[in-house]
A = this chain, B = another copy of it.
Amino acid sequence: MPPWSAEEFEALLREKGTSYHIYHPFHVMMAEGRLTRSQLQGWVANRFYYQIAIPVKDAAILSNCSDREIRREWIQRILDHDGYAQLGDGGGIHDPGGIEAWIRLGEAVGLSRDDVTSLRYVAPAARFAVDAYINFARQRPWQEAVASSLTELFAPHIHQQRIDTWPTQYPWVDTAGLQYFRNRLTQARRDVEHGLRFTLDYFSQSRALQQRALDILQFKLDVLWALADAIMLSQCEVHIAGPRELGARAQ
């Protein structure tokens, strides 16, 4: 089987968006305004564990990568999340970074800074899902870890959805707290441009390699889905309504 063309391969990567966590029952509830204040707080508190994992994951990619040009591009992601304090006057940049923006989102939904940063509300299964992503980046070649970042193809949609719906669905949330989502609209588009270009090229030599990239993207989608499952089980009473057949895929 010859490799797919770049257009076909990109289309297959984008098709994976059908299993993005925007379709998870908990995220559907969120977008429809059906979460309680406590449930929205629980989401922000649990998801913080993912936020703090991002620069650790990106540092793992740098540590596995001997290509200076790639590192010079990729380091931007760590700066985006950790902020620029370490550059003295920040070279004129005064961005406190995505982790700080997420803490402010926590405050906007009524959590204290300590509620968020202590990790006291993080469900164990949320840690296991996020840690799977960190360990993937540590243990696999950096090119595979780059491919795993491609869930950012689908992120602007979910960020925009929150910016659009929260002010009416959750009017008690201080809209200043939504700055994280606004920042990520721009950053995720730029990041995915780089990651996608790299993936289309690096994995293009064989159909098997392209399939590997698709499997890696599925792994990352599974991480986000499992994170949503963990948050759902920690923030919702659930009843077992009936059996599901072996091999049926959750939707």
Contact = CB atoms under 8 A, between A and B. Distances in A.
Contacts of A250: 233-234
A29 B38 CA distance: 30
Interface centre among A38, A125, A127, by most chain B C-beta atoms within 10 angstroms, is A125
Nearest to A243: B36
Interface in A111-132: 120-121, 124-125, 127-129, 131-132
Interface string A230-247: 101111111111111111
A242 B236 contact: yes
A229 B233 contact: yes
A32 to B, nearest CB: 12
Interface of A is mostly: helix
Interface string A187-211: 0000000000000000000000000
A128 B132 contact: yes
Contacts of A29: 240
Interface string A124-146: 11011101100100000000000
Interface residues of A, number: 43
A167 interface: no
Interface stretch (A52-60, A86-94, A217-225): A217-225
A45 interface: yes
Given A242-B237, A246-B38, A127 B132 contact: yes
A235 B242 contact: no
